[in-house]
Amino acid sequence: MLAVIAKFYYLCPITRPRADPARDFAPTIHPDIMELSAQNIEALRRLLETPQRRIVILSHTNPDGDAIGSSIAWAESLRRAGHTVACIVPNKYPYYLDWMSGIRDVVIFKTDSEGRAARAVEEADLIFCLDFHSLSRLDALSELIAANASAKRILIDHHLNPTEPFDLMFSHPESSSTSYLVYRLIERLWGADTVTRAQAEVLYVGMMTDTGNFSFSYITPDLFRAVAALAETGIDIPQIYNNVYNSFTEGRARLFGYVINRKMRIMRKGTVAHLSLTEEEMRRFWFQQGDSEGFVNYPLTIKKMKMSAIFVEHHDFIRVSLRSRGDVDVNLFAGRYFEGGGHRNAAGGKSFVSMAETVARFERAVEEFAAEGHL
């Protein structure tokens, strides 16, 4: 009897519990809307059909977990397909990524005294641009890229509004990370079962860091299916979390306390905050590349806060990092006031005036932005 009921239940779609898209997806949880174009996949397949391609994989200045993770994993799949691959980044990655397997092979252009980056770019017939949308984000490295005009350029990225023409573009702002995008590309080209444990580990780093440990936007059921496939390879998720988030120095912890306690300014009735860090302050706390990572998120833990910024002094400019909640569009803000861009809720840019002027300009910009109804 039970079997009969079960069979009836199975055959009758109306009585089966069905997914109700309106109910199953709260506004901030998106159904997987990332559709890779079959035409683009075919074009990529054709580019990779020629054996022994010389390939360069580039990622952005101040490379983060997603930039490095997606590059290493993509390189590994391409090498296995018989190509020669060099991963290049403009400057050093943060020290809390040092443990990642394959990271030693990533060439750091700024300190590359042997000219490995220049040679690889010069000889390349394919250049993949991962996790950035504009060659201007490569700083000094962009001239080297411009010099090789014959290589085909392929974009694999999740930032808004790519600025240059590419021969082939996988531009998916609806992807929560470039690493997720790379996972889906590997799946389509060679199958998900070709992803090794080492690749799974670095892809997981990219997915975890770009989503704030799976808590920002574009957290889709398909993302978790991808994560499940990565977990099947036997990666140690708590260990990866520890390696990335619990590996800072004492100086960083003290600097964080100092910045929040002494440097956080709050405006517009507690809805906008900004932080700043001068070179002198960084020296005082034995600053290392990557130490200020995440500081800008902290003001957003305050109830009602909508937007947060940090200004970090560098040699000849000030880096601006912006974060927001909900509809507040910091990509628009960064583009308008700080020559930058990024995503709606996480963006960055640069300022070429003093710290005091940068802060004053930011505060004026916030008022203008608010007056226009963006805040």
Residue ranges binding Mn ion (CB under 5 A): 66, 131, 178, 210
Q: Sheet containing 126-130: give its strands across.
A: 107-108, 84-89, 54-58, 126-130, 152-157, 168-171
CA 330, CA 332: separation in Å to the nearest integer? 5
142 to 60, 91, 118, 184: CA distances (angstroms):
10, 13, 11, 28
Among 156, 183, 342, 369, binds ligand 5GP (CB under 6 A): 342
Q: Please choose, from the candidates 329, 351, 340, the residue with its C-alpha nearest in 3D space to the C-alpha of residue 134.
A: 340
DSSP letter string, 144-204: HHHH--SSEEEEEE-SSS--S--SEEEE-TTSS-HHHHHHHHHHHHH-GGG--HHHHHHHH
Residue 347: CB minimum distance to ligand 5GP, A: 4
Residue 330: CB minimum distance to ligand 5GP, A: 8
Among 321, 324, 351, 358, binds ligand 5GP (CB under 6 A): 321
CA 134, CA 139: separation in Å to the nearest integer? 10
Among 128, 129, 349, 359, binds ligand 5GP (CB under 6 A): 349
Q: How many residues bind ligand 5GP (CB under 6 A)?
A: 13
Beta bridge partners of 169: 155
Question: Is 348 among the residues that bind ligand 5GP (CB under 6 A)?
Answer: yes
Residue 59: CB minimum distance to ligand 5GP, A: 10
CA 250, CA 268: separation in Å to the nearest integer? 33
Residue 343 contact partner, candidates ligand 5GP, Mn ion, none, CB within 5 to 8 A by sort of partner: ligand 5GP
Residue 307: CB minimum distance to ligand 5GP, A: 13
Residue 189: CB minimum distance to ligand 5GP, A: 25
Residue 66 contact partner, candidates Mn ion, ligand 5GP, none, CB within 5 to 8 A by sort of partner: Mn ion
Residues that bind ligand 5GP (CB under 6 A): 134, 137, 159, 321, 340-343, 346-350
